[in-house]
């Protein structure tokens, strides 16, 4: 009986074939639904790619000319790019746009993180639904209406005019309003990241004697860093392309690149507007890549420190 059991336990062992060579290992089978998933995703992906590439080519075509014409093809000229790169005002507007975008992204994540954490700690379903409605209800209101609301709060006679009255028509007022506008979009990735935490990981860290600050710095933040990076990227992308809030709260004193593009379109300066739009897109992609790179470096350092601690304990 023991011999038969041993024979039945070893059917998967590989034996050399007649030529004396070991047979090649079997290739893992692909999931059956992968082809169907590709077929479902392909139409939407191709449509988005086609629209995006068409817009980029159109902007590039308009930027490589100097004459004001709506024709698709015009004489090739780099004068618009020379004018743009030599303009100190455009550089200043670009710097303001990047500064406001990074500041709003960081402040939004700092405010959204404890809100997302508190939402997940609520146990009663009706209270959770009420809080979720309170957090995400501003999305149902137009951005213009919310910006006008902040103007009334900061204007003379408003509730916040006393301590924050000097912020209206200045950069702090624009940042404050943009943080409120983009806050729901910062909470969504953080909620998904916090939901994916392993069960009992914080309790285990507390049982090992970690303080609340140590648990936040060494356990919670590294595990939720993908959500933090996604939140930063989403808020930054929405902020640098914002137009209504900087226009209303800035009052013409806080100029951002999206506003400059709109003004050039109104003045029929289509080549300059196209060049500015391409610069805004390129700079935004570079900053998003930097955010992604920082997140990967943080993850690598966390894994390396965890490995070193495990070797020391061993």
Report pLDDT digits (tens) over 149-184: 999 999 888 888 888 878 889 999 999 999 999 999
Q: Strands (DSSP E) along 88-212, which ranges?
A: none
Higher pLDDT, 168 or 1: 168
What confidence category does residue 69 fall into, taking pLDDT thresholds of 50, 70 and 90?
low
Q: Is the dihedral of CA 104, 110, 111, 117 positive or negative?
A: positive
pLDDT at 95: 93
> In the predicted model, what is the mean pLDDT of the chain?
82
- Is the per-residue pLDDT at 58 higher than 50? yes
pLDDT at 8: 45
Lowest mean pLDDT among 1-15, 232-246, 253-267: 1-15
Q: Which residues of 29-67 are buried (b: 16+ CB within 10 A; e: fewer)?
A: eeeeeeeeeeeeeeeeeeeeeeeeeeeeeebebbbbbbe
Mean pLDDT of 291-309: 69
């Amino acid at each position: 009986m023991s011999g038969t059991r041993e024979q039945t336990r070893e059917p998967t062992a590989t034996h050399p074939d007649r030529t004396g060579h070991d047979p090649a290992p079997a290739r893992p089978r692909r999931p059956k639904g992968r082809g169907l998933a590709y077929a479902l995703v392909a139409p939407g992906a191709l449509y988005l790619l086609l629209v995006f590439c068409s817009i980029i080519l159109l902007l590039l075509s308009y930027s490589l000319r100097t004459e004001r014409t709506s024709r698709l093809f015009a004489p090739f000229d780099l004068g618009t790019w020379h004018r743009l790169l030599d303009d100190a005002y455009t550089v200043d507007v670009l710097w303001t746009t990047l500064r406001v975008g990074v500041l709003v992204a960081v402040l939004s994540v700092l405010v959204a993180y404890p809100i997302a954490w508190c939402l997940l700690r609520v146990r009663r379903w009706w209270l959770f639904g009420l809080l979720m409605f309170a957090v995400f209800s501003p999305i149902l209101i137009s951005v213009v209406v919310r910006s006008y609301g902040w103007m009334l709060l900061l204007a003379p006679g408003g509730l916040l005019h006393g301590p924050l009255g000097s912020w209206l028509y200045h950069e702090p007022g624009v940042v404050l309003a943009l943080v409120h506008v983009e806050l729901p979009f910062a909470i969504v990735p953080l909620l998904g990241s916090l939901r994916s935490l392993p069960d009992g990981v914080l309790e285990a860290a507390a049982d090992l004697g970690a303080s609340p600050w140590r648990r936040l710095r060494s356990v919670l933040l590294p595990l939720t860093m993908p959500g933090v990076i996604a939140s930063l990227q989403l808020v930054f992308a929405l902020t640098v392309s914002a137009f209504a809030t900087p226009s209303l709260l800035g009052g013409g004193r806080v100029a951002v690149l999206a506003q400059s593009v709109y003004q050039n379109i109104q003045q029929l300066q289509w080549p300059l507007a196209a060049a500015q739009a391409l610069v805004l897109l390129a700079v935004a992609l570079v900053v998003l890549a930097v955010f992604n790179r920082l997140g990967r470096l943080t993850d690598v350092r966390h894994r390396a420190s965890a490995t070193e601690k495990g070797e020391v304990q061993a």
